Amino acid sequence: AIQMTQSPSSLSASVGDRVTITCRASQGIRNELGWYQQKPGKAPKLLIYAASTLQSGVPSRFSGSGSGTDFTLTISSLQPEDFATYYCLQDYNYPRTFGQGTKLEIK
Amino acid sequence: EVQLVESGGGLVQPGGSLRLSCGASGFTFSNYWMIWVRQAPGKGLEWVSNIRQDGSQKYYVDSVKGRFTISRDNAKNSLYLQMNSLRAEDTAVYYCVRDPDYSDSSGYYDAFDMWGQGTMVTVSS
């Protein structure tokens, strides 16, 4: 199975900060990657698919980039509602695999 | 209302069985791949299984192969997960998820755009 490694595992930041989360695949996955946001006690929410396509209704401060093995999720200006855990997910092959998550906390 | 509602979770002894159900409403269920994703307490997300729109293709994570079976009934707008030979490590919240399987000139992309609220499965003696 393809291993997805996110960094950092946790991150403290302030409202208004620019934040970048990285996801690395153990082998090339083209652009077949999505990003999800999960808040405590809630189901995850789709942010981005195909590495850089913003899901309808998701604020434009979220962006994704990358191809091959290295991917990034960027939040251009953190808002209070963005403090959550973020996961990447590869859909290049089976079984699909998630990264371990990045917990974004308020500084 | 557009939603997915899971049911069937609960407490079961190791080696036991459980059948999860997911009812879909507000959209054309038969147009979507459907997925089960689970999350152990305090842990990350794990993709478990998916099934094609017509049920002709099914995939599983290795840890559940031979024990879990995914199925669907498009006439009833329902997704199922039959779980047998349950183990303590299967303890998790199980989410039912919809995937429109977006495509472009380069290929197809998973996009889990709708999730149920989850149902808790606890495997313990």
What is the rounded CA–CA span in Å between residue B38 and residue B76?
Answer: 23
Which one of B47, B104, B118 has the shortest CB-CB distance to A97?
Answer: B47
pLDDT in the model for residue B101: 83
DSSP states of B51-100: E-TTS--EEE-GGGTTTEEEEEEGGGTEEEEEE-S--GGG-EEEEEEEE-
Say if residue B108's pLDDT is above 90.
no
pLDDT in the model for residue B23: 98
pLDDT in the model for residue B96: 98
**What percent of chain B has pLDDT above 70?**
100
Predicted confidence band at B106 (pLDDT cuts at 50, 70, 90)? confident
Say if residue B102's pLDDT is above 90.
no
What is the mean pLDDT of the segment spanning B37-49? 98
Q: Is the CB of residue A36 less than 8 Å away from at least one CB of chain B? A: yes
pLDDT in the model for residue A102: 98
pLDDT in the model for residue B105: 84
**Tokens read off for A93:** 């092959």
pLDDT in the model for residue B59: 98
**What percent of chain A has pLDDT above 90?**
98
Name the residue of chain B whose CA is nearest to A29's CA. Answer: B109
Distance from CA of B58 to the nearest CA of A (A): 10
